[in-house]
Chains A and B, each alone.
Chain A
């Protein structure tokens, strides 16, 4: 029993101006700590971090394009948002549920200030998500193989969805004094987003932008200036929504005053303006630029010469020239005749007409000595490009390889695969059905090639022999091996392996 009940110095007796806001902040900090320690939030963060660590190295075969990597950070925070929504909602309802409202109602901080504090209490969670987003994006961006440029506005979407979830949770608590309201609303939202109300996803702009996270079913990376997603407007729209929902919750818990109403109007105006702007139709300039990039990329590209080969690519991809050159040089070193010195043009081409979700094939180029490279790299993209280089060196042009069904396929595939660290693995990667026996489609950046079972049989035999001995035979017999209509049996004979039983026959 000490003298503590005597008058002790007091922190804030009479409220100086600003004390209320300082108290709101103190309450927000207190609630933020409790929020971060709630089991659903902890579990969500654990899963989120696991997901980042597991998925990020796999992004785009480890050769990330940063204008795609920024969007890849957007879906994970939804999980955090879900947990935050439920937990913030329960935190707001706590005093009512535990019957402390009778006491708290006569304390200095007014209900609307407590509401504001609850909405603010998600800020540290959002900040933590921002750190995770930064780490996830940074992981991709700091890779030496990364190309392109991300958009800060796309990176903001993750943290903003967490804040939005919190604001929504607070508003729900102020409108429905039941802890069941938030989970049921989430179920309803899930149903609406997965079940019915998916707005027409084929449309690039339009109402789908009203959803918090607008994902793209992207088939391939395209230059960043052609993406033209209204990311900044969308971030503003999310911010406006966060403010509007929070302020509505403040209003619902008794907040009044001209300043508050003015701010609500401002937030609403921001939400509406940015919301409508982002759904506006795609500018014609973008459509034109996309068409240009698809049909006449040479006007947009820069070129560089390495050895006997010229590399032309969209400026963002120029750092990749070195890796392409290493493939070209490897394949070239295995060839014979005049081909070793023949000039080659490696041109990057992309089907960008429909934007990110476009799924169009690139026509093979008719220009002799021109090889197409896509925007992706790593994994199967490497043997695919290698096959394209080999096929152009063997057949003369991409157009000339269309429908090739003779012994030249044997030489092409051996050139494409033999220099790779694990040729059979590369063979599996380059074939559409991931097989290493029988007939299959072989993918390249443009038109697919076809391998018969017999050609596969010969190529497998060649890959099992020492590369130098096969290379010597390839160089010695280059003219015969690359002559049109040479059969696979003849090629096998020239290269000193068993011939296939059946004749070359493609469907």
Chain B
């Protein structure tokens, strides 16, 4: 298993949509760079808007990370889907962390909103994007659900600021609800991570066996599934 993971690393590295990630991440860096360059012009709040925009742009590209044009070709290989998906995440996470650090550092410290809280928001946004991609892969047969997921994600993101105050996620640091909102962000993050973990396995479409049964326990060569029906 360990060997498989190490050997899969390079091929998986090549399957990742690096150009899309670069485009999404580059947008955030570019905007942050512009902010830095024109620092005198901005008040305190656009820095937060900028960080949120950067996170959204990057998260949108993350909806494509689990797209796999070769999905049907590799669905039967012994390396399990969870491992292949996990490897993608393992490769994307440090890159994402580095990128986020760069964006945050580009924002002048005088304008920077509370870093831990904003990082929580960004992490939750990214986790939701990945979970949405994983969910789409799990529920559909489509090898590349990315575009549809991105559209749905974007629409959701645009509508989120319209949430009633009780459930508001996008609040300003001066707002009394900042703490409560970040508690909600934490729940979003946890929920997304759980969904992601649940969706990592290869979907089994014929649910004749009890849910949770591993595919490996089916009787071989199309015989009666042990304990099935």
Chain A directly contacts chain B within the complex, with at least one CB pair under 8 Å: yes
Chain A nearest Cβ from B43, distance in angstroms? 10
A180 within 8 A of B: yes
Interface readout for A418-460 with B: 1 if CB under 8 Å, 0 if not?
A: 0000000000000000000000000000000000000000000
Contact A191 B150 (CB under 8 A): no
In the docked arrangement, what's the CA distance between A97 and B147, Å? 10
A183 within 8 A of B: yes
Instruction: Say whether, besides A44-B155, A187-B57, A188-B27, A180 and B50 are in contact (CB < 8 Å).
Output: no
Residue from the list B24, B46, B155 in contact with A180, Cβ < 8 A: B24
Chain B residues whose C-beta falls within 8 Å of the C-beta of A184 in the assembled complex: 23-24, 27, 57, 60-61
B18 within 8 A of A: no
Instruction: Say whether, besides A187-B27, A194-B49, A179 and B158 are in contact (CB < 8 Å).
Output: no
Give the residues from 160 to 180 in chain A that come closer than 8 angstroms, CB to CB, to chain B.
178-180
Chain B nearest Cβ from A141, distance in angstroms? 26
Interface readout for A183-202 with B: 1 if CB under 8 Å, 0 if not?
A: 11011101100111000000
Contact A40 B155 (CB under 8 A): yes
Contact B60 A180 (CB under 8 A): yes
Interface readout for A76-111 with B: 1 if CB under 8 Å, 0 if not?
A: 000100110011001000000100000000000000
Chain A residues whose C-beta falls within 8 Å of the C-beta of B152 in the assembled complex: 39-40
A59 within 8 A of B: no
Q: How many residues of A contact B (CB 8 A)?
A: 25
Chain A residues whose C-beta falls within 8 Å of the C-beta of B91 in the assembled complex: none
Contact A183 B60 (CB under 8 A): yes
In the docked arrangement, what's the CA distance between A44 and B148, Å? 14
Chain A residues whose C-beta falls within 8 Å of the C-beta of B155 in the assembled complex: 40, 43-44, 82-83, 86
Instruction: Say whether, besides A47-B159, A83-B151, A187 and B49 are in contact (CB < 8 Å).
Output: no
Give the residues from 39 to 60 in chain A that come closer than 8 angstroms, CB to CB, to chain B.
39-40, 43-44, 47
B56 within 8 A of A: yes
Chain A residues whose C-beta falls within 8 Å of the C-beta of B151 in the assembled complex: 40, 83, 86-87, 90, 183
Contact B147 A190 (CB under 8 A): no
Chain A residues whose C-beta falls within 8 Å of the C-beta of B61 in the assembled complex: 180, 184
Q: How many residues of B contact A (CB 8 A)?
A: 27
Chain A residues whose C-beta falls within 8 Å of the C-beta of B23 in the assembled complex: 178, 180, 184
Chain A residues whose C-beta falls within 8 Å of the C-beta of B27 in the assembled complex: 184, 187-188
Residue from the list B24, B31, B42, B147 in contact with A179, Cβ < 8 A: B147
In the docked arrangement, what's the CA distance between A44 and B27, Å? 26
Overall SS of chain A's interface: helix
Give the residues from 153 to 206 in chain B that come closer than 8 angstroms, CB to CB, to chain A.
153-155, 158-159
Chain B nearest Cβ from A45, distance in angstroms? 12
B20 within 8 A of A: yes
In the docked arrangement, what's the CA distance between A90 and B145, Å? 12
Chain B residues whose C-beta falls within 8 Å of the C-beta of A195 in the assembled complex: 46, 49-50, 53
B100 within 8 A of A: no
In the docked arrangement, what's the CA distance between A186 and B53, Å? 10
Chain A residues whose C-beta falls within 8 Å of the C-beta of B144 in the assembled complex: 97
Considering the complex, give the chain B residue whose CB is closest to the CB of A188: B27
B146 within 8 A of A: yes
Contact B159 A187 (CB under 8 A): no
Chain B nearest Cβ from A114, distance in angstroms? 19
Considering the complex, give the chain B residue whose CB is closest to the CB of A180: B20
In the docked arrangement, what's the CA distance between A190 and B31, Å? 13
Considering the complex, give the chain A residue whose CB is closest to the CB of B38: A196
Chain A residues whose C-beta falls within 8 Å of the C-beta of B49 in the assembled complex: 191, 194-196
Q: Apart from A190-B53, A196-B42, what are 10 other A-B pairs with CB-CB below 8 Å?
A: A39-B152, A43-B155, A179-B150, A180-B60, A183-B151, A183-B153, A187-B53, A190-B158, A191-B50, A195-B49
Q: Could you tell me which B residues sit within 8 Å of A by CB distance?
A: 20, 23-24, 27, 31, 42, 46, 49-50, 53, 56-57, 60-61, 64, 144, 146-148, 150-155, 158-159
List 23 A-B residue pairs with CB atoms under 8 Å apart, sorted by A's residue number: A43-B155, A79-B158, A79-B159, A83-B155, A86-B150, A86-B151, A86-B154, A87-B151, A90-B147, A90-B151, A178-B20, A178-B23, A179-B150, A180-B20, A186-B154, A187-B27, A187-B53, A187-B56, A191-B50, A191-B53, A195-B50, A195-B53, A196-B42
Closest 9 CB pairs of A and B: A195-B49, A191-B53, A179-B147, A86-B151, A187-B57, A40-B151, A195-B46, A183-B60, A183-B154
